[in-house]
Amino acid sequence: MSVGVWLRRSLASIALCSVCVGHTQALKSADAEVRLMGQASVTRPTVKLADVAEISSDDVALQERLASIDLGPAPPVGSPARLTREALERWVNAQVGRASRVQWRGAIAVQVDTRTQALAWERLDALARRSLQDRLAGEVSDLRLTPVDRGVAVDLPPGTIDLVARDLPPGMMSAVATVWIDIRVDGQPGKTVPVNFRVEGKRRVWVALSDQSPGIAVFPAAFEMRDMPLDAVRRTPMSLDGMAQASLAATRLRRVVRAGQVLSADDVESVPDVIRGGTAMLTVTWGAVVVESPVEVLQDGRQGELIRVRPRTSSEAVLARVVGRGMLEISR
């Protein structure tokens, strides 16, 4: 071996020993070493020091204490947080005290994100579709549901996923229906996602055979059942059993219903207890004195309402409370 080769190898060995000795001395001069990562992903609700750094120490208790230091809540899914070594060093020193010497190494900052799992849009679509089909099963025939838009996978924290479709409101079904899906992860509320469908089909409704005037009683013979396209049913229709004679007792039309028009639930109202232009009996109580007299009703009224009436012996109107069919009262 030449002198030159031997000299180069000797110098390399000395340099390597110097590095090893220096590292050993650094460990001996510090109680623990914390090597910060450049990036870290967490799965727990809170971030611990052990999630973002490698910790080594001959003192097992100190190492465990450092590892368990709470750095705060995990960042929201899709919104990573940046923690600097300087800020972490101050926080750790505040937790363990400067009596425990900690040597910091590694990256100058760590980017922390929450590890996610992808919820396939197909699962949301399938649940929303079943919910909508169940809701419309007894009301709509030839039902066709077409997704309005194709959604994307939803990022969620790790855990067991539960999906719950919210109840759809009763009544009117529009051309586009929205089903809201509540997402829970490990029993905790997560996101709420809308799933939209274009709804096509037919609904059995009552249709007027001729023009019907407001204020008249509802006669079943003036209407017939028809299967109408959903886009022709503008408002919540009268229920199919709404034409039963018992249901129509003491009811009248609120507005004009034209021939061929769908009878809506709000086209029908109960007959008022007192009717404008009619006569009712007014009871006036003044202390122990009770006087009854007929009055002219100036506006429709139902039990509990205050309406204007005119006594036959007066030209001025007074306010009286409706207490029953054809009955009013004034108490003083």
Distance from the Cα of residue 113 to its chain's centroid: 26
R_g over Cα of the chain: 40
Domain boundaries, the chain: 31-115, 118-196, 203-270, 279-331
- The whole-angstrom separation of Cα 281 and Cα 29 is 103
C-alpha distance from residue 96 to each of 32, 106, 134, 165, 295 (Å): 11, 20, 59, 48, 89
3-state DSSP helix/strand/coil percent for the chain, to nearest 5? 25, 40, 35
- The whole-angstrom separation of Cα 303 and Cα 324 is 6
- The whole-angstrom separation of Cα 117 and Cα 170 is 35
Name the token pair of 267: 């086209």
Q: 88: buried, middle or exposed (CB in 10 Å: 19+, 13-18, 0-12)? A: buried
- Residue 168 is predicted with a pLDDT of 83
CATH code assigned to 279-331: 2.30.30.760
Nearest to 210 by CA among 254, 256, 259, 255: 259
- Lookup result for tokens 């759809």: 168
- The whole-angstrom separation of Cα 308 and Cα 123 is 60
Conformational region of residue 86, where left means phi above 0, alpha means psi within -120 to 50, and beta covers everything else = alpha
Contact 281, 298 (CB under 8 A): no
- Residue 76 is predicted with a pLDDT of 84
- Residue 112 is predicted with a pLDDT of 94
- The whole-angstrom separation of Cα 53 and Cα 107 is 9
- Residue 13 is predicted with a pLDDT of 38
Residue 50 burial (CB count, 10 A): 17
- The whole-angstrom separation of Cα 193 and Cα 184 is 11
- Residue 23 is predicted with a pLDDT of 43
- The whole-angstrom separation of Cα 208 and Cα 220 is 9
Nearest to 300 by CA among 331, 267, 283, 325: 325
- The whole-angstrom separation of Cα 87 and Cα 112 is 14
CATH 3.90.1150.10 fits 31-115, yes or no: no
- Residue 315 is predicted with a pLDDT of 86
- The whole-angstrom separation of Cα 321 and Cα 309 is 10
Please name the residues in contact with 235: beta carbons below 8 A apart, sequence gap of 6 or more: 172, 262, 264, 265, 266
- Residue 15 is predicted with a pLDDT of 35
- The CATH classification of domain 203-270, taken from the options 3.40.50.300, 3.90.1210.10, 3.40.50.1370, 2.40.128.110: 3.90.1210.10
C-alpha distance from residue 201 to each of 8, 98, 231, 233 (Å): 89, 74, 9, 11
- Residue 164 is predicted with a pLDDT of 96
169-185: b (≥16 Cβ within 10 Å) or e: eeeebeeebebebebbb
Q: Which residues of the chain have pLDDT under 70?
A: 1-29, 98-99, 171-172, 245-247, 249
- Residue 172 is predicted with a pLDDT of 60
